[in-house]
Amino acid sequence: MNKLILELWHDLRAKRLWPVAALLVAALVAVPVMLKKNSSTPPAPTPPAASASSAGDNSKAVVVADTGTAQGSTLGVFNKKDPFKPDKAVLSAAHPKPTPAPKSSSPSAPAGGNTPSGGNGSGSGSGSGNGGGVPVTPQPTKPQAPKGPFAYTVDVKFGKRGETRVHHDVQKLDVLPNQNNPLLVFLGVNMAGDTAVFLTDTSLKAAGEGTCKPGGDTCSFLYLKLDKNSNTEDLSEVAADGSGTEYTLTLLAIHKVPVSELAKGAKKAAAAARAEARRAHIEKHKSPTAFHVPLSAQLTPDTVG
């Protein structure tokens, strides 16, 4: 063992490394000594807190931090699904709601009818109407435009001369005067929406203000306008025994309504038509007559609804 240490020492001297070896040996001895010395040194005593009785002394007060009021993390205010979504408080602060203007109130007259002192009533009107906020004028709400699709209905007056009756909301393909005695069929209106088109029975002859196509003797399609000079047509029917009946048709109004409203009143209109047909059948005591369509007529009137 001594031989090994001696050879190591000679080797370090030959290579001029003996100072490094000496420093390492000194460090190995000094480190344990220093650690032992630090552990044996007692900690410095904590100065006692200032008592309440020494509050008036010139010594400095000791401030102790209150750990009970410490707040935790505020990450809980964010949305778990979208943490980048602004909080409601931030949105309300960025977009505040407008405050309504206070209503103006006229000053009440003093009790007993006495005027304020010092002016003998001369300045009573100087401040009238100026107090309170500016009155807000309510804006009129615009009616919502109905949604399509649309269809046309008409109001007409039809019947025998001197016995005409008003028919409201006549829809497309409705018959007049009733299903028991069909003489006219409403086909719709033209593109401009100001002319109603009717399909007439072949037994009728037209003579009036309306327009007949192909002609007056064979009036397959009857056109009536809302103009006072073109809204009435006289129709005559000649029976097989030579007796004749005169009818009068007058166009009163054209309505453009949504199809949804027509569907709501379809059942009611059908029930009214059946009741009218039964009433006419009971009064006349005759079987229903068929509607005769002219075979030579071109059934393509200019109608849209």
pLDDT in tens, 183-202: 899 999 988 888 999 999 88
The angle at the Cα of 43, spanning 38 to 49, to the nearest 5 degrees, equals: 160
pLDDT in tens, 270-287: 676 677 767 666 665 555
* pLDDT level of residue 158 (50, 70, 90 thresholds): very high
Specify the DSSP element, H or E, that contains 248.
strand 244-258
232, burial (CB in 10 Å: exposed 0-12, middle 13-18, buried 19+) = middle
Query: Tokens 């039964």 belong to which residue?
Result: 278
Find the mean pLDDT for residues 99-115.
55
Report the candidate in 130, 203, 186 with the shortest Cα–Cα distance to residue 301. 186
**pLDDT given for residue 115 in this prediction:** 46
* pLDDT level of residue 232 (50, 70, 90 thresholds): very high
pLDDT in tens, 17-45: 778 778 888 888 888 888 877 766 666 66
**pLDDT given for residue 41 in this prediction:** 60
* pLDDT level of residue 258 (50, 70, 90 thresholds): confident
**pLDDT given for residue 122 in this prediction:** 45
**pLDDT given for residue 154 in this prediction:** 92
Give the three-state DSSP class for 56. Answer: coil
Average model confidence (pLDDT) across the chain: 73
* pLDDT level of residue 177 (50, 70, 90 thresholds): confident
Cβ atoms within 10 Å, residue 263:
10
Tokens of 203: 């037994």
Give the three-state DSSP class for 245. Answer: strand
**pLDDT given for residue 42 in this prediction:** 62
* Distance, CA of 21 to chain centre: 92
Phi, psi (degrees; rounded to nearest 5) at 132: 80, 180
The answer to whether residues 244 and 237 touch, using CB atoms and an 8 Å cutoff, is yes
DSSP 8-state symbol, 302: S
pLDDT at 68 > cutoff 60: no
pTM, two decimals, is 0.45
- Determine the Cα–Cα distance for residues 195 and 44; give it in Å rounded to an integer: 113
137, burial (CB in 10 Å: exposed 0-12, middle 13-18, buried 19+) = exposed
- Determine the Cα–Cα distance for residues 224 and 251; give it in Å rounded to an integer: 7
Q: What is the largest CA-CA distance in the chain?
A: 163
Give the three-state DSSP class for 204. Answer: strand
